[in-house]
Amino acid sequence: MEQTLIILKPDAVQRRLIGKILQRFEDKGLRIAAMKFMRISRPLAERHYEVHKGKPFYPGLIEYITSGPVIVMVLAGPQIVAVTRKMMGKTFGFEAEPGTIRGDFGISRTLNLVHGSDAPETAQKEISLYFSKDEMVEFAMCDEPWSIQKENV
């Protein structure tokens, strides 16, 4: 099953939105494959956002993502990267469609509540930054036969 790395960023934690955001992912029928509550260190943030180094928003982004604790998780499911990106909405809250996480809960450019990997290959790289192999939990959800059709997902 495809995997993605999702982070509920410091503003989601501080604004007590963990439950509401997680509920959306649960409602969609996705499986949690790993999860932790942690504070992202500056070196880890710099590795995660390496592709943005040198961009004008980079210093503010590193400041923001290290400013308080976050929930980091691996979600698994069919087309999970595309599905979660759609659920998150466009990067800036003021552009994100209503009905998306960023569209419903925020209006900021930087403080946009949630991170989600942008491709399956990026996801694997990001997952390895946050989780060791033995932190990944292998199991099946009891409703999978009713929510995921094996032959054509």
134: enclosing H helix or E strand: none
* Cα dihedral 137/81/15/132 (nearest 10): 30
Nearest to 87 by CA among 2, 4, 149: 4
CB of 131 to ligand CDP, least distance (A): 19
Binds 109, which of ligand CDP, Mg ion, none (CB < 5 to 8 A, cut-off by type)? ligand CDP
Q: Is 52 a catalytic residue?
A: no
Nearest to 118 by CA among 62, 55, 52, 21: 52
In this complex, which beta carbon is closest to ligand CDP, that of residue 110 or of residue 148? Answer: 110
CB of 29 to ligand CDP, least distance (A): 23
CB of 91 to Mg ion, least distance (A): 7
In this complex, which beta carbon is closest to Mg ion, that of residue 109 or of residue 149? Answer: 109
- 61 belongs to the binding site for ligand CDP (CB under 6 A): yes
What gap in Å lies between CA 38 and CA 149, rounded to an integer? Answer: 35
17 backbone dihedrals φ, ψ, rounded to 5°: -105, 5
**Tokens encoding 140:** 């099946």
Binds 112, which of ligand CDP, Mg ion, none (CB < 5 to 8 A, cut-off by type)? ligand CDP
Query: Residue 53 carries which side chain, given as an amino acid letter?
Result: K
What are the residue numbers of the active site? 115
Residues near Mg ion, by CB under 5 A: 118
Residues that bind ligand CDP (CB under 6 A): 57, 60-61, 91, 109-110, 112, 115, 118
